[in-house]
Chains A and B, each alone.
Chain A
Amino acid sequence: MSEYGNALAGGLLIGLSAAILMLANGRVAGISGIAGRLLQGVQVASGALFVLGLMAGPLVFRLLFGAWPSVTVTSSWPLLVAGGLLVGFGSRMGSGCTSGHGVVGLARLSRRSIAAVATFMAAAIATVFVAGYVG
């Protein structure tokens, strides 16, 4: 039950974060876009601040609850490298990831984002399905 409560509360906060960025700065809270622009040397100060804030989130969680949020990585190192490359490349090519297309794009009823979310959800579900037989 608290698993679902925490998921909903966390989701509401993520939505709040996106709403703050949109209302205050008129910007989309898309992590791959923010990270990509940071790497290109565009909007460096705001990009770096957002990423630092993102990293501070788990610290705030630890201060409030006395433990780190659980992060269980079971993938082998070659798989981590392959997954990272695909996530980095694909999110830039598709102009967004779970945050930009998922949280903000769906909220704006963007047709591009609806297509992107349907595509990456299907691809991710298929990958987990296939990996269950291969790995």
Chain B
Amino acid sequence: MNSALLRLAATLVSGVVFGFGLSLSGMLDPARVRAFLDITGNWNPSLAFVLGGAVLVSALGVLVTRRLKHPLFDTIFHLPAHRTIDGRLIAGSAIFGIGWGLVGLCPGPALASLSLGLPATILFVAAMVIGMLIHDRLVDRKVTVQQPGGASAETRLSQPR
């Protein structure tokens, strides 16, 4: 098998493991997520173990990658080039957090739960897609132009997030 096929296979495996992990963890359930965020009310802290466990294993992966010259099926690591904490990052994260708190769904669980065929999550994903398109097609260009010496559209596309 050539490396392009191996990359696609690894992507599919990664997606399935991610979706199954979300399902097992309880992150798929907006009610659980909102109970986790409700720290002054009826707080359910269990989902902290999801992020804790995920970061732990992910960090082990990062440690291993630092000993590799390149990933198994590719010639380079595709890591974010940005280093600076800017207004875009903070404003975008705040907007994302408000939406996440309102409904209790973030992109991963929203997409994974599509397979349950619930009208509510399908509506949420449709709105999420429109929100992404509004940003990438209408807003991003202006913001990028305003950044002094900022990243061009092309380098932004190559960012792995």
Q: Could you tell me if B11 and A58 are in contact, using CB atoms closer than 8 angstroms?
A: no
Q: Could you tell me if B99 and A22 are in contact, using CB atoms closer than 8 angstroms?
A: no
Q: Could you tell me if A58 and B116 are in contact, using CB atoms closer than 8 angstroms?
A: yes
Most buried by B among A4, A68, A82, A90: A90
Q: How far is it, in angstroms, between the C-alpha of A41 and the C-alpha of B81 when the chains are bound?
A: 21
Q: Could you tell me if A35 and B111 are in contact, using CB atoms closer than 8 angstroms?
A: yes
Q: Could you tell me if A60 and B78 are in contact, using CB atoms closer than 8 angstroms?
A: no
A-B contact count (CB 8 A): 513
Tell me whether B145 is interfacial, beta carbon within 8 Å. no
Q: How far is it, in angstroms, between the C-alpha of A124 and the C-alpha of B160 when the chains are bound?
A: 24
Categorize the interface residue count of chain B. Answer: 35 or more
Q: Could you tell me if B97 and A85 are in contact, using CB atoms closer than 8 angstroms?
A: no
Q: Could you tell me if A3 and B21 are in contact, using CB atoms closer than 8 angstroms?
A: no
Q: Binary interface profile of A, 75-89, with partner B (CB < 8 Å = 1, else 0)? A: 101011111111111
Q: Binary interface profile of A, 84-107, with partner B (CB < 8 Å = 1, else 0)? A: 111111111111111111111011
Q: Could you tell me if A54 and B111 are in contact, using CB atoms closer than 8 angstroms?
A: yes
Known contacts: A15-B54, A32-B107, A116-B93. The answer to whether A127 contacts B120 by CB under 8 A is no
Known contacts: A71-B121, A123-B97. The answer to whether A54 contacts B89 by CB under 8 A is no
Q: How far is it, in angstroms, between the C-alpha of A78 and the C-alpha of B19 when the chains are bound?
A: 27
Q: Could you tell me if A88 and B21 are in contact, using CB atoms closer than 8 angstroms?
A: no
Known contacts: A57-B20, A90-B94. The answer to whether A83 contacts B78 by CB under 8 A is no
Q: Could you tell me if B95 and A93 are in contact, using CB atoms closer than 8 angstroms?
A: yes
Q: Could you tell me if A12 and B100 are in contact, using CB atoms closer than 8 angstroms?
A: no
Known contacts: A3-B26, A71-B113. The answer to whether A56 contacts B98 by CB under 8 A is no
Q: Could you tell me if A87 and B110 are in contact, using CB atoms closer than 8 angstroms?
A: yes
Q: Could you tell me if B105 and A58 are in contact, using CB atoms closer than 8 angstroms?
A: no
B120's partner among A3, A80, A87 (CB-CB below 8 A) is A80
Q: Binary interface profile of B, 78-101, with partner A (CB < 8 Å = 1, else 0)? A: 111011110011111111111111
Q: Could you tell me if B70 and A71 are in contact, using CB atoms closer than 8 angstroms?
A: no
Q: Which residues of B contact A98 (CB under 8 A)?
A: 51, 100, 106-108
Residue of A nearest to B73 (CB): A24
CB distance from A20 to the nearest CB of B (A): 5
Q: Could you tell me if A57 and B128 are in contact, using CB atoms closer than 8 angstroms?
A: no
Q: Which residues of B contact A89 (CB under 8 A)?
A: 92, 95-96, 99, 131-132, 134-135, 139
- Interface pairs (9), CB distance under 8 Å: A8-B49, A33-B160, A56-B16, A84-B110, A88-B133, A94-B95, A94-B96, A100-B160, A120-B93
Interface of B with A (CB < 8 Å)?
Answer: 6-8, 10-32, 34, 37-41, 46-62, 64-65, 68, 70-74, 76-80, 82-85, 88-108, 110-116, 118, 120-121, 123-136, 139-140, 143, 157, 159-161
